[in-house]
């Protein structure tokens, strides 16, 4: 039983970190936001300083929040992400 509680807590922490990371990011363009497309690996690299995420953790979050893949001019595929830029 303690293991399940521990696993639940880890999932909760992962969710909190993802929510904080995406607070000033959007799946759609908005005024004051700039497009900053990222690959799953780039997101993983940014988030790994906070927690040991797996690619699936990030992809599941993005899908749940309606983020979509987009094709870059060089042909690579990344997640379409807009980020609020503070002045």
Asked if residue 6 lies in contact with residue 50, where contact means CB atoms within 8 angstroms, the answer is: no
Give the pLDDT confidence of 5-64 residue by residue, as tens digits.
988 999 999 999 999 999 999 999 999 999 999 999 999 999 999 999 999 999 999 999
Asked if residue 22 lies in contact with residue 67, where contact means CB atoms within 8 angstroms, the answer is: no
Entry pTM:
0.88
Query: How many domains does the chain contain in total?
Result: 1
Q: What is the domain extent for residue 38?
A: 2-84
Give the pLDDT confidence of 6-15 residue by residue, as tens digits.
889 999 999 9
Q: At which residue do the structure tokens 């900053």 appear?
A: 36
| Alpha carbons 15 and 9: distance in angstroms, whole number | 10
- Residue 18 has a pLDDT of 98
- The yes-or-no verdict on residue 1 having pLDDT over 80 is no
Asked if residue 38 lies in contact with residue 64, where contact means CB atoms within 8 angstroms, the answer is: no
């Amino acid at each position: 039983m303690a293991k399940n509680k521990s696993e639940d807590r880890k999932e909760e922490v992962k969710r909190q970190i993802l929510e904080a990371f995406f607070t000033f990011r959007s799946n759609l363009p908005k005024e004051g936001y700039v497009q900053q497309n990222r690959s799953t690996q780039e997101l993983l690299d940014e988030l790994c300083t906070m927690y040991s995420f797996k690619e699936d953790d990030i992809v599941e979050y993005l899908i749940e929040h309606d983020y979509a893949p987009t094709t870059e001019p060089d042909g690579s595929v990344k997640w379409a992400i807009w980020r609020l830029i503070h002045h």
